[in-house]
Amino acid sequence: MGLRSFLYLLPEAWRTWLKRPSTVRYPFGPLELPPGFRGRVVIEPDNCRGCSLCVRDCPADALELQRVSRDEFRLIFHPERCAYCGQCELSCNFGAITLSNDFVRATTDRDTLTEILVDRKPEPESEA
């Protein structure tokens, strides 16, 4: 018992030496992400009805709806505030807003990140 407890870690260390290192080579190698990974917010503009359910439920106030009239509104997204919790995806009943797999690109200036997700203009009335 005496000697074995002195060199207790040796067998494990030797086994690890023979195996491939378990560190991921990112960013030099690919990083596998599961399908359900909550990354960047992505919008399906046509589905959006401007009901602002997502804006109300967003814990980080990252979504903002500027409404001019029933058919003219803009959904603005601030990625730097977003906590990637996926609540907007959950609250939206029309499946307009979802979270994709890629993560936000880094930037030095916060304002360049702000995105206009939906810029709905009322369709011009065809008949007079």
Partner 1 sequence: MKSDKMIIPIGPQHPLLKEPIAFTLTVEGERVMEAGMRMGYVHRGIERLAQERSYVQTIHLVERVCGICSHVHATTYCQGVEALLGLEIPPRAQYLRALLCELERIHSHLLWLGVLGKNLGLDTIFMYAWRDREIVLDIMEDLSGGRVSHAINVIGGVRSDVDEAHCDEILRQLDLLTEPLARLVGLVEHERTLKARTQNVGHLSLEQIRRYCVVGPVARASGLDVDLRRDMPKAPYTDLSFKVITHTAGDVWARTLVRMQEAVESVRLCREILAQLPDGPISVKAKRRVPPGEVVSRAEAPRGELIYYIRSDGSEKPARLKIRTPTLTTLITLPEQLREVNMADVPAVLSGVDLCIACADR
Partner 2 sequence: MQTAFTLLIFPGLGFIVLCAWLFDWLDRRIIARFQGRVGPPWYQPVADFIKLLAKEDILSTGINPALSTALPVLSLASVLTVSLYIPVARTAPVSFEGDLIVVLFLLSIPALAYFLAGWISGGVYGILGANRSLLQYFSYEVPFLMALSGPAILGNSWRIAQIAQQQVGTTWNLALQPLGFILAVVGLIGKLKRDPLDIPKAKSEVVGGSLTEYSGRKLALWHLAMDMQTVLGIFLLINLFLGGTSASPLWGGLGFVLKALGIVLLLSTASVLYARLRIDQLANLGWRVLAPLALMQLAATIWMGG
Report the nearest approach of partner 2 to the CB of residue 17 (Å).
5
Minimal CA–CA distance to 99: which of 41, 58, 59? 41
Distances in whole angstroms, Cα of residue 31 to Cα of each of 95, 103, 106, 107 = 27, 12, 17, 21
Report the nearest approach of partner 1 to the CB of residue 80 (Å).
16
- Is the CB of residue 94 less than 8 Å from the CB of residue 102? no
Q: Under the criterion CB under 8 A, does residue 1 sit at the interface with partner 2? A: no
- Which stretches of the chain bind partner 2, using CB under 8 A? 7-10, 13, 16-17, 19, 21-23, 25
- Which stretches of the chain bind partner 1, using CB under 8 A? 4-6, 8-9, 12-13, 16, 22, 34, 36-38, 56-60, 83-87, 90-91, 99
